[in-house]
Structure 1
Amino acid sequence: MSGLSAALLELRRTLDQEMFPLKVGDTASDRHALKELAGQLDDYLLPRLAALDAPLLAVVGGSTGAGKSTLVNSLVGAEVTEAGVLRPTTLAPTLVVHPADAGWFSGTRVLPGLPRSTGGGRAEAGTLRLVTAETVPSGLALLDAPDIDSVVKANRDLAAQLLAAADLWLFCTTAARYADDVPWGFLRRARDRSTALAVILQRVPAEASGPVGRDLRRLLEENGLGPVPLFEIPELRLPENGALLPETAAGPVRRWLEELSADARTRAAVVHRTLAGSIDSLDARVRGLADSVERQRLGARELADLAESAYTAGLTAFDDGMRDGSLLRSEVLARWQDFVGTGDLMRGLESRVGRLRDRVVAAFTGRPLAERELTAAMANGVEALIGAVADGAAERTVDAWLATPAGRALLEDEDVAQAGRLGRASPRLQAGAERAVREWQGFVLDLVRREGASRRGAARAASFGVNGLGLLLMVGVFASTGGLSGLEIGIAGGTGVVGQKLLEAVFGDQAVRRLTGEARSDLAERVRVLLAQDRGRFTVLLSPTLEADPGRLRAVAGTIRAHRGELSGGGAK
């Protein structure tokens, strides 16, 4: 395999990626350009480069009712393709070849995406009908294409695909429609890609032959197509539908094609010109795709940043919830009262802290049920806070995405169809939160156990018990009055003071501050991981865009340029 062939194959593999999933810029045009480029590589560049001596493929294309099928039948001398008055006429393209050349086209080497059919009758739309005829010169294949301006979009797309696969384009038009805008778009594309071209002007009234021909030639020159061969076929009254053009009308076109196919050097020159022009056009087209992919990546990064900001805000909200005392409300407060073993704790707030401390000390012995209930209440509170901040982060992300065209289109896409569910935390978050809180509580107990075992106060720590001291450390993580009011402030404050004093009595004030910081940091990290996992529901939607690499496209374009000289030097095999 030549370096040029390898580079084209690498380009083709690169184009298999999903490059334009987001609505950023003119996404429809970007997708069309991608599809068109991939199609030309499959249908023409790779097969032609692999077989430079294959027959010349001449595609007969043009506007609706331009007489394409009649011309093909007339060139062959038999009715091999169906011509008619109903529009569109050509529903399935017909490829006519000499029997000796049929092997080149019967497989998938050329136009691999089109199923083949043979024999008489009308072929199904979307298939390539293969017909052999002794009257077609060896080394030449004639393909009757659908209308480029067909009312059926599939026909227009197929016509464009076939023209991109042509070594030679026989453009058919009429005296009444030669100035239409749509054909000139195709003609300019043929010019830009150096596609070999001939123009057949049909149905020219005798009195208009000179003026129409000169005006068409003027338009060709203005569009950079002055040197192309131009054949005029006069307006004729054919006896019936499907009749052939007389020899005087079709003969000049047939003889010109026979001369092209008979001379191997001339035929090779046509192939080389079209092949080289198509390859040369790749550079700007591939770089244009790379620029569009770059825009997609920037759009995806913007959406990813919006999601990251929303979930970062959620983590901040959780940190605030840890510090403002709000976790010591309601259920946790009630279980704390049960834990210290009194129903009139609120009335005892006027007593000194030492008396409350004595009650807490007493609670460390003989009250396992209250201990478990306080542990569970605290876990439930933390889990509820995690769920709330995750719901808020998901909702903010959806709102932020809906405010951008790319995000709105992505959320509303039928394949995603998750805009409603994405606005709440993932159902898996609850299970993850329960597991994370259990593991965090175990981590806190390990902190207390290690600290107690390494200090002179180990006996005192043992008298309180690891579980009891662990509970006090957990309370200390959340004890503050920022989110409370009224009697709750006194209870939370008293709770924090009692816990603080007991822990300091066991471990010392510096150790307590360190243990509290470690416990708080560990919980925040576990929540950060949970929120990152929940945010992954959004970022996974962006992964195809973020995986597409514009740099790879530009590098492949550079490799193709570097090997372009192989065409001139005969290096392509």
Structure 2
Amino acid sequence: MTSDRATNGELLAAVTAFRDVVAASSLPLDLPSTARAKDNRVALLRQLEDYVIPRLSSIDAPLLAVIGGSTGAGKSTLVNSILRREVSKPGVIRPTTTSPVLIHHPQDARWFTDKRILPGLARVTGEPSGPDESSTVRLVTSAELPPGMALLDAPDIDSVVSANRGLARQLLAAADLWLFVTTAARYADAVPWELLRQASDRGTAVAIVLDRVPPEVMGEVRPHLVEMLREQGLGTAPVFPIPEVVLEGSLIPESDIARLRGWLTDLAADAAARETVVRQTLSGALASLDERAEELVVASRTQQRVVEELSQVVDQVYRRARTGIDEGMSDGRLLRGEVLGRWQDYVGTGEFFKKVEVGVSRLRDRIGDALRGAGKPVSPEAVDDALQTGVAQLIEANADTAAIEVARTWRGLPAGEEVLAVHPELARASAGFSGEVDRVVRTWQGEVLDLVRTEGGSRRTNARVAAVGVNGVGLLLMLFTFTHTAGLSGAEVGIAGGTAVAAQRVLEAIFGDQAVRSMAAKARAALEQHTDHLLAGEAKRFARAIGRVDVPADQADRLSRALDRVQAAR
């Protein structure tokens, strides 16, 4: 990686754009196959914001050494001993350090008082006045620490408090140098080595402090630790053993800490050595973006595929629901039962339909008499209500069946069961759907009446409409909209078929055959549009539940392109 400022500026711009794409990405579904990638996304964002971008922005800033390790390793005592005064409070009650303490030379204050690094942590200064806050970093100045280097005392990596563990890992990812503290009793523990392997994989500069080593086992423990480091690719990491000794006050005797202090002082004083450490860790962090971003790309594609599978189920099932409603409006189903009974009461018995051939005018007069109360005491509103109920029930039944079918199918797909557990209401049509359907069907019936009024046009047509009544003509138009009689049998065929013929004949006598077909098409199209809107609203419940808008189809491609720009700038 070159130090050319123009190249660094290009790389910074590419990394910043990559960070923005990662931040905008999402993995909303709880899939076992993408659980690790979700954690990786959070860690990746933190390292970009806490370390990579700040370091690229200020390549000459002081080297930051984060002191991390297991519970009871003596990190705070070590920091205090290096500085020869207490700046980080040690203790026997765990956890102790919960709020990180950042120590720097007074000349370097400008690098740490702003949000250049660790922008998510507030800055506090002075002695702690109460319990540590994990959302803050306490700044301490010390002339014992040479300019050009800062120390950051982190919480325990294996703290019993999960927030402390997460913060410790976040701070280590923000470091130019890991100063890893372990003990003779715990140097082989699993948790430290998990983090050390990550450091090795990402090229992070590491130094090891082997603390509290009984003198009689020093010759055995130190070589074993060095061998373990070599096996993990960290054979060049310096190891600083500190014997188990009686503390002077609360500090390790200076003679036992002198080698470590000297190494840190020399590193701080040597600009070239500092730059080597910084660039090693920065290059490693940049190189690690490839694998970590690829994991996020794969997870994005997996999530998108699962979302698409769930969404396809919704689309297919609700298309079938739409087809079922269309069939129910075309096969004579709506002219059965209550509608037939009300229609018979309205215009008379089956004998009435035999008179259709006698003359349309007589038929029109008969219906007109009914409207004026001269026939059966049944109003067209009664037939209208029965028809409204039939249409509403048809829509509701298909919508409810669709919801049940989607839920049943989802339970057999990845993430489907999890989504339904959070949204059990999806297994049925939405609450209030029935009332919404009633309102929409009533609205459509009103639109049909408006259509009758607007199609009148001429004085003669208006007179014919008036003879039957707008409500009666509107009712005939609604019945004519459902003209097909497939599925009916026996007496129903005659009655329903007669209903359709009677409605058609009267409407043609009033408006003419071409106008009637046009009106029926408009009425049917309006009802279909309302139906589409109702079903779309029901289907959107599922889309919202799976977070479809949170997994853009091009998310994986945008991540890949952003990473390509980083690689090209490196």
Counterpart secondary structure, 1:3 = helix
Distance 1:511 1:322, change over 3 A: same
CA distance in 1, matches of 2:320, 2:332: 19
Task: Report Cα offsets for 1:47-92 as digits up to 9, x if no partner.
Answer: 1211112111111111122121111111111121112223223222
Query: Aligned match of 1:185 in 176, 182, 194?
Result: 194
Once the two structures are superposed, residues 527-561 of structure 1 have per-residue CA deviations (whole angstroms, 9 ceiling, x without a partner) of 12321122112213323433361111111101111
Alpha-carbon distance, 1:281 to partner: 1.0
Structure 2 residue 99 is matched with structure 1 residue 95: no
Match of 1:175 in 2: 184
Q: Per-residue CA shift, 1:243-274, capped at 9, x if unaligned?
A: 21122221111111111111122212211111
Residue number in structure 2 paired with 1:530: 534
Please give the per-residue CA displacement for 1:128-157, whole angstroms capped at 9, x wherever unaligned. Answer: 122111111111111111111122211111
Change (3 A) 1:123 1:55: farther
Within the candidate set 10, 13, 24, 1:6 is matched to 13
Offset at residue 508 of structure 1 (A): 7.8
1:63, 1:149 within 8 Å by CA — same for their partners in 2?
A: yes
3-state secondary structure, aligned to 1:26:
helix
Q: SS at the partner of 2:187? A: coil
Amino acid at match of 1:272: R
Tell me how far apart the structure 2 counterparts of residues 364 and 350 of structure 1 sit (CA, whole Å): 12
- Alignment-derived partner of residue 49 in structure 2: 42
Q: 1:499 — aligned with what? A: 503
What residue number does 1:19 align with? Answer: 26
Q: Does 1:424 align with 2:432?
A: no
| Structure 2 residue aligned with 1:546 | 551
**Matched residue, 2:209:** 200
Q: Is the 8 A contact 2:87 2:140 kept in 1?
A: yes
Which residue number corresponds to residue 300 of structure 2?
293
The answer for unaligned runs of 5 or more in structure 1 is 565-573
User: Could you tell me how far apart the structure 1 residues matched to 2:203 and 2:59 are?
Assistant: 17
Shift of residue 233, structure 1, vs aligned partner: 1.4
Letter in 2 for 1:560: V
Give the match for residue 304 of structure 1: 311
The equivalent residue for 2:88 is 81
Select the structure with the greater relative contact order (CA < 8 A; seq sep ≥ 6).
Answer: 1
* Alpha-carbon distance in 2 for matches of 1:76, 1:297: 53
Residue aligning to 1:146 = 155
Report what 1:276 is aligned to: 283
Match of 1:362 in 2: 365
SS in 1 for 2:24: coil
Q: Distance in 1 between matches of 2:359 and 2:333?
A: 22
Name 1:221's counterpart in structure 2.
230
SS at match of 1:390: helix
1:508-523 aligned at under 5 Å gives the runs 516=520, 519-523=523-527
1:168 is displaced (CA, Å) by: 0.6
Q: What secondary structure, in the 3-state scheme, does the structure 2 residue paired with 1:89 have? A: coil
Deviation by residue 1:504-529 (Cα, 9 ceiling, x = unmatched): 66778788667655644543343123
Q: Matched residues in 2 for 1:289 and 1:304: separation?
A: 22
Greater displacement, 522-531 / 357-366: 357-366
SS at match of 2:112: helix
Cα distance, 1:186 vs structure 2: 0.7
Amino acid at match of 1:192: D
- Equivalent residue runs for 1:237-252 within 5 Å: 237-238=246-247, 243-252=250-259
Question: Is residue 332–residue 486 contact of structure 2 (8 Å, CA) maintained in 1?
Answer: yes
Structure 1 residue 35: Cα displacement: 0.8
Kept in 2, the 8 Å contact 1:94–1:130? The answer is yes
Deviates more, 1:422-431 or 1:88-97: 422-431
Distance 1:52 1:546 in 2: 36
Contact 2:407-2:426 at 8 Å conserved across structures:
no
Distance in 1, matches of 2:413 and 2:449, equals 44
2:232 aligned with 1:232: no
In the alignment, residue 302 of structure 1 is paired with which amino acid?
A: E
* Conserved? CA contact 1:327–1:478, under 8 Å: yes
Partner of 1:561: 567
Counterparts of residues 95-114 of structure 1 (less than 5 Å) = 95-114=102-121
Deviates more, 1:435-444 or 1:150-159: 435-444
Q: Residue 382 of structure 1 contacts residue 437 of structure 1 at CA under 8 Å; is this kept in 2? A: no
Partner of 1:476: 480
C-alpha change, 1:350 and 1:140, in structure 2 (3 Å) is: closer
Q: Which residue of 1 aligns with 2:133?
A: 125
Task: Return the alpha-carbon distance in structure 2 between the equivalents of residues 214 and 394 of structure 1.
Answer: 66
1:53 aligns with 2:55: no
Please state whether the residue corresponding to 1:177 is helix, strand or coil: coil
2:255 aligns to what SS in structure 1? helix
Work out the CA distance in 1 between the residues paired with 2:177 and 2:557.
34
Residue 411 (structure 1) shift: 3.1
Please show how residues 346-495 of structure 1 align to structure 2 within 5 Å. Answer: 346=350, 348=351, 351=354, 354=357, 360-368=363-371, 370-413=379-422, 418-420=423-425, 423-425=428-430, 427=432, 430-431=435-436, 434-435=439-440, 438-439=443-444, 442=447, 446=451, 468=472, 470-484=474-488, 487-495=491-499
Indicate if the aligned counterparts of 1:193 and 1:281 stay in contact, CA closer than 8 A: yes
Q: State the distance in 2 between where 1:440 and 1:16 align.
A: 50
| Aligned residues of 1:18 and 1:544 also touching (Cα < 8 A) | no
Moved more, 395-404 or 434-443: 434-443
State the shift of 1:480 in Å. Answer: 4.5
Task: Give the Cα–Cα distance (whole angstroms) in 2 for the partners of residues 230 and 363 of structure 1.
Answer: 108
> How far, CA to CA, are the matches of 1:438 and 1:94 in structure 2?
68
- Structure 2 counterpart of 1:87, which letter? R
Please, which moves more after superposition, 125-134 or 114-123?
114-123
Amino acid at match of 2:561: A
Note the C-alpha offset of 1:501. Answer: 4.6
Q: Deviations over 1:292-312 (max 9, x none)?
A: 111111111111111112211
Query: In the superposition, relative to structure 1, how do residues 325 and 356 fare at CA in structure 2: closer, same or farther (>3 Å)?
Result: farther
The residue that corresponds to 1:159 in the other structure is 168
Instruction: Please state whether the residue corresponding to 1:79 is helix, strand or coil.
Output: coil
In 2, the alpha carbon distance for the partners of 1:128 and 1:246 equals 28
What's the offset of the Cα at 1:21?
1.0
Q: Structure 2 vs 1, CA of residues 481 and 282 (structure 1 numbering), >3 Å: closer, same or farther?
A: same
**CA drift at 1:357:** 6.4
The one-letter code matched in structure 1 to 2:49 is: D
1:391–1:424 contact (8 Å) kept in structure 2: yes
What is the CA-CA distance between 1:190 and the residue it aligns to? 0.9
Residues 440 and 522 of structure 1 are in contact (CA less than 8 Å); yes or no, is this contact kept in structure 2?
no
Distance change >3 Å, CA 350–CA 105, structure 1 → 2: closer
> Contact between 2:356 and 2:363, CA under 8 Å: does it hold in 1?
no
**Paired position in structure 1 for 2:376:** none
Q: CA RMSD, aligned part only?
A: 3.1
Residues 484 and 255 (structure 1 numbering): CA distance in 2 closer, same or farther, change over 3 Å? same
The match for 2:265 is 258
Q: Secondary structure at the match of 2:95?
A: coil
How many angstroms does 1:467 deviate by?
5.9
Q: Quick one: which amino acid aligns to residue 35 of structure 1?
A: V
Q: Structure 2 regions of 5+ residues with no counterpart?
A: 1-7, 373-378
**CA distance in 1: counterparts of 2:124 and 2:370, whole angstroms:** 87
Using structure 2 for the length normalisation, give the TM-score: 0.87
Q: Distance in 2 between matches of 1:178 and 1:497?
A: 93
Alpha-carbon separation, structure 1, partners of 2:471 and 2:484: 22
User: What is the letter of the counterpart of residue 423 of structure 1?
Assistant: R
Whether contact under 8 Å (2:28, 2:551) holds in the other structure is: no
1:64 alignment counterpart? 71
CA 1:334–1:471: 2 relative to 1, 3 Å: same
